[in-house]
Amino acid sequence: MTVVSISRCNGKTDRLLEVLYLPEVRYTELGFTEFTQTLILASCCALLIYIRQVLKIWPTVTLLLLAFVSASLVREQDYFLDYYVADNTWKFVVALIVLPSLAWVIIHRQRFLDEFRYYSNTFSFGLFAAGVLVTYIFSRLYGRQDFWRAVLEESYIRDFKDIAEEAIELLGYSLILFATIELLFLARRIHRARQTP
């Protein structure tokens, strides 16, 4: 059995576990898919904080990336914030994250442009951009109810749409995680080069 087939089996097993053994939470805010999305985004935040604060590589670019990923993480928690705090709390929390970060980047825009000139030519940037496009553009278009009604006609069930949209979101967040890991490797190389006399 190859590594690819083992990983395929593990992915199918995880989805099957959610579908077969957790029917009351499958593809809901309490399901495995949402938990995985949260875990991925939290991991990205931790890695970006490490890159920015410990390695001190491209601080304005990583601040903007961190603000974006943190806002996405808060947005994924909207169900819990609405339920346990108040409706639309997530919007306030996202504003508290994004507005100061944007202000900082605008104030230091020349530094941002210098850093972004390097970052935009990396594999990490391409992966990050692909993850954003998949998560925030493609998944929204692919998860449109009109599309699924046209495809499935009278066999339409909302669960199909929800499952497809959540799976595509998970793919996009995974691309963002891979981009962040790639950025970490690049930042470590840059950090080592700066340390070498």
**What pLDDT was estimated at residue 17?**
58
pLDDT by residue, tens only, the chain of 197 residues:
333 333 344 445 555 556 666 666 666 666 788 889 999 999 999 999 999 999 999 999 999 999 999 999 999 888 888 888 888 888 999 999 999 999 999 999 999 999 999 999 999 999 999 999 999 888 777 767 777 777 777 777 777 777 778 888 899 999 999 999 999 999 999 999 998 87
**What pLDDT was estimated at residue 126?**
96
The string of DSSP codes covering the chain is --HHHHHHHHHHHHHHIIIII-TTTTTSTTSHHHHHHHHHHHHHHHHHHIIIIII--SHHHHHHHHHHHHHHHHHHTHHHHHHHT-TTHHHHHHHHHHHHHHHHHHHTHHHHHHHHHHHTTSHHHHHHHHHHHIIIIIHHHHT-HHHHHHHHGGG--HHHHHHHHHHHHHHHHHHHHHHHHHHHHHHHHHHHHHH--
At 184, the amino acid letter reads L
**What pLDDT was estimated at residue 112?**
96
**What pLDDT was estimated at residue 13?**
52
**What pLDDT was estimated at residue 29?**
65
Query: What's the pTM value of the predicted model, to 2 decimals?
Result: 0.81
